[in-house]
């Protein structure tokens, strides 16, 4: 994918992962010590490898392949839940995610999604289930919902309605817009926190979101009220 | 199909941030709309990249051993419902499936007027109320505004107002500034309506209908 080779203008390495970024992360984080992780560092970002492992789990209940997936993804999944304010539940949810990976491995379709994307959907859905069951409203939900809906209604009339075909919507955005969208939507951060982490003011965060949504919207095709 | 959920909805849906009632509506729309499905899978890719890019937290070996002991007993499921992919809570997924199949069997319909019936869906979503509305062919829907936003997914047939015609599968948002008087199409219409506040009818029979609806 063309996205992989993006330039990083600073130390913010939130947008697509490449080998260089992985090396940076390895330097400052502790990972589970395990043979499979240390032997295959150079292959860690190879999506083909994860696909291979996941299919081995599905077809042969291969525990070594399962462990390799665990060594790579578990520390990230735990961190993902911690970032989303689920500190007390992070490990429990992560455990649940891996149970589902085991059980649902046969439903993985390599032609439809990357392994990391497939695992992300399981991570996301476990969180949705947890919050739904506990009827916990996210701290920032109201804040997010209001401000984005407002800006959405503001902008929708101006949006150009081109129907250009592109391989991925997010190629339309510049790095700053992508970082902001990723932080606010996928990492579930408030404007304030996203602003601090990206070294911007909350006002700039809002205007980046607005411009990003406007660009994405103009490529949605169709019409809206 | 001309009326789709805005990108903001698809982003919130894909990242798991959409409220339960709205997720159900988007989940059903996606079953009908290939182009939105494609967009959601692109956005989920961004989720996968985000997951790959977070700083790692240490995980103990014991955890993996416990996990292995747990999965030892578990079979690998062979028949997995396509609805499991929806970014909708497990407890709400059967309803997404039911609406996708246009099955209204276990709902309790009540007459609102001669030509309009409704079934309230208890979603237990504190922010929204959800109803199914069934309109007879050419039924006039009383003129109303919304005190909040109204989200409509057309499940069967079509309806129109002064701005356009809305067909099966389409998703429409109306905010409080819109006063409209929709008209059901020749085949009638079934809609899923989600409101964050009760509808306010403003026509001649407004107060009576408000009383009925509330």
* pLDDT tens-digit map of A67-93: 999 999 999 999 999 988 788 889 999
Q: What is the pLDDT of residues A129-157, one digit of tens each?
A: 998 887 644 433 444 444 444 334 333 33
Q: What residue in A sits closest to B170 (Cα-Cα)?
A: A224
Supply the pTM of this predicted model.
0.74
Contact A133 B16 (CB under 8 A): no
> Does ipTM exceed 0.90?
no
Distances in Å between the Cα of A43 and the Cα atoms of A39, A83, B57 are 9, 27, 20
Answer whether A17 touches B (CB < 8 Å).
yes
Q: Which of B4, B47, B91 sits opposite A220 (nearest CB)?
A: B4
Q: What is the pLDDT of residues A154-184, one digit of tens each?
A: 333 333 323 334 457 777 888 888 888 888 8
**Cα B86 to Cα B30: distance, rounded to the nearest angstrom:** 9
pLDDT-derived band of residue B30, with 50, 70 and 90 as boundaries?
very high
Q: What are phi and psi of A108, to 5 degrees?
A: -70, 125
* Cα distances (angstroms) measured from residue A223 to each of A158, A214, B182: 12, 14, 18
Of the listed ranges A154-158, A214-218, B66-70, B121-125, the one predicted with least confidence: A154-158
Is-contact B53 A187, C-beta < 8 A? no
Q: For chain B, where are the alpha helices, taking DSSP H only?
A: 7-15, 20-32, 34-53, 61-72, 93-100, 206-213
Place of tokens 């955005």: A173
- The string of pLDDT tens digits covering residues A14-37 is 333 333 333 333 333 444 444 344
pLDDT value, residue B202: 55
Tokens matching residue B170: 């389409």
Alpha-carbon dihedral sign for residues A137, A141, A143, A147: negative
Check CB contact of A182 with chain B, cutoff 8 Å: yes
Contact A122, A101 (CB under 8 A): yes
Report the C-alpha gap between A74 and B57 in whole angstroms. 8
Please judge whether A187 and B149 are an interchain contact, meaning their C-beta atoms are less than 8 angstroms apart. Answer: no
Average pLDDT of every residue of chain B: 86
Cβ-based contacts of A80 with chain B (< 8 Å): 50-51, 54
Which position has the higher pLDDT, B13 or A21?
A: B13
Are B48 and A14 in contact (CB < 8 Å)? no
By the CB < 8 Å criterion, does A106 face chain B? yes
Instruction: Indicate the Cα dihedral angle A198, A204, A206, A208, nearest 10°.
Output: -80
Cβ-nearest to B7 among A94, A131, A217? A217
pLDDT at B44 exceeding the cut of 90: yes
The answer to whether B169 touches B154, Cβ cutoff 8 Å, is yes
CB contact under 8 Å between A220 and B39, yes or no, is: yes
Q: Which of residues 82-101 of A touch B (CB under 8 A)?
A: 82-83, 90-91, 94-95, 98-99
Interchain proximity B6–A217, CB inside 8 Å:
yes
Residue in A closest to B55 by C-alpha: A25
For residue A93, the distance in angstroms to the closest alpha carbon of chain B comes to: 12
Rounded to a whole number, what is the distance in Å from the CA of B101 to chain A's nearest CA? 22
pLDDT at position B198, please? 57
Q: Could you read off the pLDDT of B111-157 as tens digits, one per residue? A: 988 999 999 888 777 788 899 999 999 998 877 666 678 899 999 99
What's the pLDDT at A23? 38
Nearest-by-Cβ selection for A213 from B7, B39, B89: B7
Q: What is the dihedral of CA A136, A141, A142, A148, to 10 degrees?
A: -160
Provide the residue count of chain A. 225
A170:B46 CB<8 A: yes
DSSP code per residue over A102-161: HHHGGG--TTT--HHHHHHHHHHHHHHHHHHHHTPPPTTHHHHHHHHHHHHHHHHTT---
Q: Which of B27, B59, B174 to mutate to test the interface with A (most CBs of A within 10 A)?
A: B59
Specify the 3-state DSSP secondary structure of B150.
strand
Instruction: Dig out the tokens for B45 from the structure.
Output: 């890719």
Tokens of A121: 């959907």
B44 contacts in A (CB within 8 Å)?
113, 117, 120-121
The count of residues in chain B is: 214
């Amino acid at each position: 994918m063309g996205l992989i080779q993006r330039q990083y203008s600073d130390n913010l390495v939130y947008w697509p992962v490449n080998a260089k970024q992985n090396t940076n992360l390895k330097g400052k984080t502790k990972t589970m010590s395990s043979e499979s992780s240390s032997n295959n560092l150079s292959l860690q970002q190879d999506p083909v490898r994860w696909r291979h492992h996941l299919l081995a789990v599905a077809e042969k209940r291969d525990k070594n392949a399962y462990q390799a997936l665990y060594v790579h993804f578990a520390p990230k999944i735990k961190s993902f839940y911690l970032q989303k304010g689920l500190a007390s539940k992070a490990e429990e949810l992560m455990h649940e995610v891996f149970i589902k990976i085991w059980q649902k491995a046969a439903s993985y379709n390599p032609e439809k999604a990357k392994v990391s994307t497939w695992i992300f959907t399981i991570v996301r859905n476990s969180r949705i289930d947890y919050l739904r069951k506990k009827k916990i409203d996210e701290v920032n939900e109201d804040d997010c919902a209001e401000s984005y809906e407002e800006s959405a209604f503001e902008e929708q009339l101006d949006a150009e309605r081109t129907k250009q075909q592109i391989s991925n919507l997010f190629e339309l955005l510049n790095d700053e817009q992508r970082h902001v969208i990723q932080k606010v939507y996928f990492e579930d951060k408030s404007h304030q926190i996203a602003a601090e982490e990206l070294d911007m003011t909350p006002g700039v965060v809002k205007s980046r979101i607005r411009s990003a949504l406007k660009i994405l919207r103009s490529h949605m095709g169709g019409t809206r009220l | 199909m001309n009326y789709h959920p805005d990108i903001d909805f698809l982003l919130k849906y894909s990242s798991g941030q959409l409220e339960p009632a709205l997720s159900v509506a988007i989940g059903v729309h996606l079953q009908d709309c290939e182009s939105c499905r494609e967009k959601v899978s692109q956005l989920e890719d961004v989720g996968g990249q985000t997951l790959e890019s977070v700083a790692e937290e240490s995980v103990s070996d014991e955890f993996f051993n416990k996990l292995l002991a747990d999965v030892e007993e578990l079979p690998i499921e062979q028949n997995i419902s396509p609805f499991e992919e929806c970014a909708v809570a497990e407890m709400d997924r059967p309803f997404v499936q039911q609406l996708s199949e246009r099955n209204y069997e276990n709902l309790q319909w009540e007459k609102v007027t001669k030509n309009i019936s409704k079934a309230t869906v208890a979603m237990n979503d504190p922010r929204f109320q959800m109803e199914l509305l069934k309109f007879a062919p050419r039924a006039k829907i009383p003129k109303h505004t919304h005190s909040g936003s109204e989200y409509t997914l057309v499940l069967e047939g079509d309806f129109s107002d002064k701005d356009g015609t809305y067909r099966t599968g389409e998703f429409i948002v109306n905010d409080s500034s819109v006063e409209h008087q929709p008209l059901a199409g020749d085949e009638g219409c079934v809609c899923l309506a989600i409101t964050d506040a009760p509808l306010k009818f403003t026509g001649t029979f407004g107060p009576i209908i408000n009383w009925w609806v509330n």
